């Protein structure tokens, strides 16, 4: 007696509903994985950048010395700023703008030039990159102390070199114009390594095939840079522009160590004014109002830069 043959059931056919569910689950997993990566950064940003703005905003409407109970002052702090009662408010904004205009574009250009110079595989190039990057990881206080010695009119290196050629060097940190120039030059030197590394990373995204094609067409080195390399670097340059602009509005350590805001008010920048009001005059409410205004200015400047970027930033 033979056993009856078994009939296997056909495999289930995936229906459109099943395929849609699979896609949804995959999308959920990818989203969850993404949040696992960016979650710590988001939490850190909220805790240390966003949430502290709220108590600062509340404090800006008070008269508080940091010790006694704060007294509600309404918009008195903002009125003092914008009614001309605080002449150093406008002066600090002007000095900060001068510093930004002198520091940001020159720093980015030098960063691009250095990145182009070290973008090769020659022996010892890694050491050169590390040496260029070294000032960026050095304490700004140490950098400021060194710069005070370099720019000293009595025993500074620069004036000593000028004296060897029979030239009397200027009093670098004793005149408003030259003091600001010295601070800008120091800041550029301290941050050129960061700009170089960022641009160097951007150079890795430039297609070699396009550069080779331009070379075969007879394009010179400068022409290849302008018409091939530079367009691919515009997103990197835009990012540096935003980061360095925000950083320039927050310059403080170099000013404190090198000039103390002087001579006169020649290097009296915005953050130095905020610090002076808060910790020298103990006007925490007014200093908080200064911080809120700075926050609004940076938001406006970043928004304008983002709008203008559509005209010159090239995305692949």
Peptide bond into 178 cis (omega under 30): no
CATH number of 94-309: 1.10.3720.10
- Give the pLDDT confidence score for residue 83 in this predicted structure: 95
Query: Which pTM does this prediction carry?
Result: 0.86
- Give the pLDDT confidence score for residue 8 in this predicted structure: 60
3 state SS of 74? coil
At 255, give phi and psi (nearest 5°): -65, -45
71: its two tokens: 């007294």
- 316 residues of the chain, pLDDT tens digit each: 455 555 565 555 555 556 777 788 888 888 888 889 999 999 998 898 888 889 999 999 999 999 999 999 999 999 999 999 999 999 999 999 999 999 999 999 999 999 999 998 788 888 999 999 999 999 999 999 999 999 998 889 999 999 999 998 889 999 999 999 999 999 999 999 999 999 999 999 899 899 999 999 888 999 999 999 999 999 999 999 999 999 999 999 999 999 999 999 999 999 999 999 999 999 999 999 999 999 999 999 999 999 999 999 988 7
- Distance, CA of 133 to CA of 198 (rounded, Å): 11
- Distance, CA of 316 to CA of 314 (rounded, Å): 7
At 219, give phi and psi (nearest 5°): -70, 135
- Decide if 296 contacts 61 (C-beta within 8 A): no
Provide DSSP, 241-258: HHHHHHHHHT--HHHHHH
- Distance, CA of 71 to CA of 50 (rounded, Å): 24
- Give the pLDDT confidence score for residue 10 in this predicted structure: 59
- Give the pLDDT confidence score for residue 121 in this predicted structure: 79
- Give the pLDDT confidence score for residue 169 in this predicted structure: 86
Radius of gyration of the chain (CA): 28
- Distance, CA of 20 to CA of 269 (rounded, Å): 58
Angle made by CA atoms 113, 115, 119, in degrees to the nearest 5 = 125
- Dihedral (CA of 237, 240, 245, 248) sign: negative
- Give the pLDDT confidence score for residue 64 in this predicted structure: 95
- Give the pLDDT confidence score for residue 255 in this predicted structure: 97
- Give the pLDDT confidence score for residue 6 in this predicted structure: 59
Closest Cα to residue 291, out of 88, 69, 83, 56?
A: 56
């Amino acid at each position: 007696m033979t056993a009856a043959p078994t009939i296997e059931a056909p495999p289930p056919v995936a229906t459109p509903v099943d395929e849609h569910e699979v896609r949804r689950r995959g999308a959920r997993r990818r989203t969850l994985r993404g949040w696992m990566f960016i979650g710590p950064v988001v939490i850190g940003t909220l805790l240390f950048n966003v949430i502290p703005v709220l108590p600062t905003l509340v404090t800006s409407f008070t008269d508080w010395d940091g010790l006694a109970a704060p007294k509600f002052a309404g918009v008195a702090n903002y009125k003092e700023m914008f009614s001309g009662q605080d002449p150093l408010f406008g002066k600090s904004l002007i000095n900060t703008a001068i510093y930004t205009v002198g520091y940001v574009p020159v720093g980015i250009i030098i960063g691009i030039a250095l990145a182009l110079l070290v973008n090769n595989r020659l022996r010892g190039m890694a050491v050169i990159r590390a040496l260029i990057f070294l000032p960026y990881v050095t304490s700004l206080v140490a950098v400021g102390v060194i710069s005070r010695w370099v720019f000293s009119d009595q025993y500074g290196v620069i004036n000593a070199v000028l004296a060897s050629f029979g030239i009397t060097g200027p009093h670098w940190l004793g005149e408003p114009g030259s003091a600001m120039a010295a601070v800008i030059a120091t800041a550029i030197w301290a941050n050129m390594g960061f700009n170089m590394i960022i641009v160097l990373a951007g150079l890795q995204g430039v297609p070699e095939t396009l550069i080779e094609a331009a070379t075969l067409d007879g394009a010179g080195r400068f022409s290849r840079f302008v018409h091939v390399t530079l367009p691919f670097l515009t997103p990197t340059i835009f990012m540096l522009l935003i980061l360095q602009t925000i950083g320039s509005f927050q310059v403080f350590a170099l000013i404190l160590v090198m000039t103390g805001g002087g001579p006169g008010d020649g290097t009296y920048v915005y953050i130095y004014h905020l610090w002076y009001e808060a910790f020298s005059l103990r006007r925490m409410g007014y200093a908080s109002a200064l911080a809120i205004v700075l926050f609004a200015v940076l938001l406006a400047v970043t928004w304008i830069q983002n709008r203008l970027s559509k005209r010159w930033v090239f995305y692949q």
